[in-house]
Amino acid sequence: MEAIGDILVLPFYGQGHLFPCMELCKKFTSFNFKVTLIIPSHLSSSIPPHLRHHSLIQVVEISATSTPPPLHKAVELPALPPKQKGHGFMHGPFSHHHQQLGQGIDTFLSERRNGSGQTRPICAAVDVMMSWSKEIFVKYEIPFVSFFTSGACAAAMEFAAWKNHADEVKPGEIRILPGLPESMALSYSDIKRNRHGPGHHRGGGPNRQNEPSGPPGGVEDGPPKPGQKPRWLDEVEGSIALLINTCHDLEGPFIDYVANQIEKPLWGVGPLLPETYWKSTSSILHDHEVRSNRQSNFTEEKVMQWLNSKPQGSVIYVSFGSEVGPSLVEYAQLADALEASNHPFIWVIQAGSGRPGPPPVLFGDDQQEEGYYPNVLDERIGNKGLIIRGWAPQLLILSHPSTGGFLSHCGWNSTMEAIGRGIPILAWPIRGDQFHDAKLVANYLKMGHMILLSDDPGEMVKKDDIVQGIDKMMKDEGVHKQAMALRSIFQSDYPESSMCSLKSFIQLISK
């Protein structure tokens, strides 16, 4: 059967954005659409073979080199009407990556338009972190939709904080946000942490005043502060619809709230997790079957063997993802805490951990950074802990019966993967949206706890805070029961509400 039409999908650079975009591509093909996934070429190794061999998916790789191009070769993008402008991702220290990628996308679309037998794409699904690129799609008269790889809670909370003047909250005050659950009311502590919290970088602890802030796109002042207009409102300007990587079963009130605030169709189409995730809810998942393995000091088989040697529900999994994490000083406190804890653990440490700024590998720079590593810890703990450098088989770890808790920054993909496997979360958020996700986990979903965070943004998380947080989470039968209850949402298949949303979206673009 001939494909109905072609949809373009453009993710942001990190794997946390790429993975849900790959799954979105597969969802579109289930409706007999051809999909073109446009990626920076340095993400090539992250594309698994089964996606490249899919009959309806084309992967287009475009160079976005780490070396700034000559100024005279920077792509000239057409100006948008004032209401369609984004928030400035084409400016700042990483603008040359976007310039290179933008030039490549422009060339690809120009060649495609001039090619024989090529029809214009029916639409482009654009990661909101790539909102600068909508100028290119407007130039080629391709309608675009804004895709949030994060959940609805962060978007709703940012909007509600702006609408309800959260920046005016006083010490001791609790401000309920009309239209959102009372459990998500903002306290002065919430405001102070978010107001002074770090930007998009890995070193999230003290002494951060001299570190660069803001997302790697180049926004100078980081995430919006409480009471400020959410940036996503500008990012979605000109789009025909919004797609969010979540479902009504988990975030119904937040999806409905955002939908009521904007004059665009909005659909929850997630969680966008690998197909085997839905088909193996009672068995152990194997990451190599769905994701490309990266460099690591332990094979998936070794990790499996270690987990097999531990009692059921005893292991604490510690991972902050590849883009954000605590400071160097806080990593040392974490090492002491894991040694002092009575629980066996798996700790994943990325290259450059504790260093400020986005990791160079995010933009294809292979330079190796020296980050934090607990060199003497593995000698002292013996078989109690497994310290993984680099890539870790997270799906396997979260689906293994020995895993009993997850110390996480509450990045959205990690949060979804933990919920789907019934694993309680000890939240240690680092930057803007993660504070909202952490509050969602602890206050609304009630399947985890927040690590003790001071109102003072310059005060680091200490060893005792971590030890107490781990013990509280691992021993709390209530959060374990609630985590398992939430898991039942994922027991049968991809959520029905999300499938209905996808069908509604397909009807919109097929008109």
Q: In angstroms, rounded to a whole number, what is the distance separating the alpha carbons of residues 410 and 425?
A: 8
Q: In angstroms, rounded to a whole number, what is the distance separating the alpha carbons of residues 433 and 412?
A: 9
Per-residue pLDDT tens for 405-434?
A: 999 999 999 999 999 999 999 999 998 889
Q: What is the DSSP letter of 458?
A: T
Q: In angstroms, rounded to a whole number, what is the distance separating the alpha carbons of residues 501 and 511?
A: 16
% of the chain with per-residue pLDDT over 70: 82
Question: pTM of the entire structure?
Answer: 0.88
Q: For domain 280-489, which CATH number applies: 3.40.605.10, 3.50.50.60, 3.40.50.2000, 3.40.228.10?
A: 3.40.50.2000
Per-residue pLDDT tens for 24-76?
A: 999 999 999 999 999 998 888 889 888 999 999 999 999 876 444 443 333 44
pLDDT of residue 92: 52
Question: In Å, how far are 157, 159, 204, 239, 486 from 265, measured between CA atoms?
Answer: 19, 17, 36, 10, 27
Per-residue pLDDT tens for 429-487?
A: 998 889 999 999 999 999 999 997 766 666 789 999 999 999 999 999 999 999 999 99
Considering 106-110, 116-120, 212-216, the range whose residues carry the highest mean pLDDT is 106-110
Per-residue pLDDT tens for 131-182?
A: 999 999 999 999 999 999 999 999 999 999 999 999 899 999 999 999 999 9
Q: In angstroms, rounded to a whole number, what is the distance separating the alpha carbons of residues 86 and 130?
A: 9
Q: How much is the mean pLDDT over the chain?
A: 85
Top pLDDT among 99 and 203 is at 99
Top pLDDT among 462 and 324 is at 462
Top pLDDT among 404 and 325 is at 404
pLDDT of residue 163: 95
Question: In Å, how far are 204, 207, 510 from 461, measured between CA atoms?
Answer: 10, 13, 51
Provide the pairing of β-strand 174-175 with 186-187: antiparallel
pLDDT of residue 147: 98
In the chain, domain spans: 280-489
Per-residue pLDDT tens for 204-226?
A: 444 333 333 333 333 334 567 77
Binned at pLDDT 50, 70 and 90, residue 85 comes out as very low
